[in-house]
Amino acid sequence: MVKKPWGGRFEGPTDALVEAFTSSIEGDRHIAIDDVEGSLAHARMLQDVGVISTADGEKIAGGLRTIRREIETGTFAWNLALEDVHMNIERRLAALVGDDVAGRLHTARSRNDQVALDVRLFLRRRLRDIVEKLVALEHALIEKAHANIDVIMPGYTHMQRAQPVRLAHHLLAYREMFARDRSRVTDAMKRALVSPLGSGALAGTPHPIDRERVASLLGLGGVTANSMDSVADRDALLEVLSVSAISMIHLSRLSEEIVLFASAEFGFIEIEDAFTTGSSMMPQKKNPDVAELVRGKCGRVVGDLVSLLVTMKGLPMTYNRDMQEDKPPLYDSLDTWAGCLEVTSRMIPAVRFREDRLSNALREGFVTATELADHLVTRGVPFRDAHEVVGRIVGHCVAAKKTLDDLDLEALRRFHPDFGEDALEWIDVQRAVDRRDLIGGPNRARVAAAIDAARQDLEAAFAAGWLTTT
């Protein structure tokens, strides 16, 4: 047991078990750099407004820069008895510049508003990396779509073959998902990147500080509006965890299709050896383990979101120690999300589509049945009647073990006399896809335009630096 690191209120030491139980150091190492950055800005502001002298401010800044180098090089010595990242840095600063000077840094600041700032700075730093990985995955999907723009595949509803679409259109659907994820990150950061520093423990400070100066020094878009909310608020974390859970669901859905399409039953894709594994018993196996793991890790990230939601749901104003449990799910979620994005973006180029299997699936699945119904509609037949007619045609083909391609015009007219001379053209998959010439449709020109628009969107994201802070 050791003496408590601060306060004259306590006479006895903290029990060793309590020290270990309450310590957050292992997780807080993630925000150590951010804590130093926030402290540098705080010290500069205190010096600017005259709360501390120029000499003390310069000593503090020099000590903090030394600590930052130690953290970056891995030479910083962590002391579990000091409970958290803030006290570890403060004690190291005292060793560098003396207790009297170091003790002035915490003027007009509480650990409550300090950690609230640290986490926001951490989010800005980490989410830049996340956005880069989202962009990389979008790029991989766009280029795979471009390379397969002339490949037609069956689209599915209820996991049943439904209508023909371009493979590129299918791939771009996932790109849309990840583009929305990127937009959500950017949007969440608009609310997160404001400074809570100056809120103190909950009621601000009587010292003549300049909160806007701190925000400006840190490149933040402003300051929080209510001191109590500032230290009670964890919405930024919840938003990011929500985005990560949504994005992981998108990754899981993509992974599910990779697993299905790689199976012998589908056989639509072949995955390069670098992204598959074998079996310890069955020598013939080539397993899509990467996609399966991404799919599995989705549950973990969703659990991280639920964990923090449950932690926060019953807390009164303002800061409560329960909030120490806010960061482990955040760190885990971001690490898992980043890893899954990176491995998926590298796996997409390693996927080869088997056009022969896709063609067979198109021929066997009655995927142009809707085209025949639409053809009758163009000839004046009400759609519900046309639907009934084509349903009977499909039933006939199933019973006769035929496909729509096996029928001639005479056979079609036995079911309805209004089938026109061009009826058989309507069941050609290429024409069926290109007939859907509308915004958001699978027509070749529309898909080519969508690829160009997606590329331009990524170029704009690069030009904007991806994240907007104000």
- Rounded Cα gap, residues 22 and 80, in angstroms: 10
Choose, from 110, 158, 216, 252, the residue flagged as catalytic.
158
Please name every residue paired with 14 in a beta bridge, in sequence order, or none if there are none. Answer: 2
Choose, from 195, 242, 279, 375, the residue flagged as catalytic.
279
Phi, psi at residue 157, to the nearest 5°? -130, 145
Of 268, 260, 221, 242, nearest in space to 333 by CA: 242
- Rounded Cα gap, residues 276 and 286, in angstroms: 6
- Rounded Cα gap, residues 308 and 325, in angstroms: 8
Whether 307 sits among the annotated catalytic residues: the reply is no
- Helical H runs in 204-273? 211-217, 227-232, 235-262
Whether 169 sits among the annotated catalytic residues: the reply is no
- Rounded Cα gap, residues 118 and 85, in angstroms: 10
- Quick one: DSSP state of residue 1? -
**What are the residues whose beta carbons fall under 8 Å from the beta carbon of 295, sequence distance 6 or more?**
251, 252, 255, 256, 259
**Exposure b/e, 354-385, CB count within 10 A at least 16 = b:** eeebbeebbbebbbbbbbbbbbbeeeebeeee
Q: What is the DSSP string of 380-412?
A: T--HHHHHHHHHHHHHHHHHHT--GGG--HHHH
For residue 414, the one-letter residue type is R
In three-state secondary structure terms, 339 is helix
For residue 167, the one-letter residue type is L
- Rounded Cα gap, residues 67 and 84, in angstroms: 15
Give the 3-state DSSP-derived string for 141-165, with helices as H, strands as E and coil as C: HHHHHHHCCCCEEEEEECCEEEEEE
Please name every residue paired with 152 in a beta bridge, in sequence order, or none if there are none. Answer: 166
* Residues taking part in catalysis: 158, 279
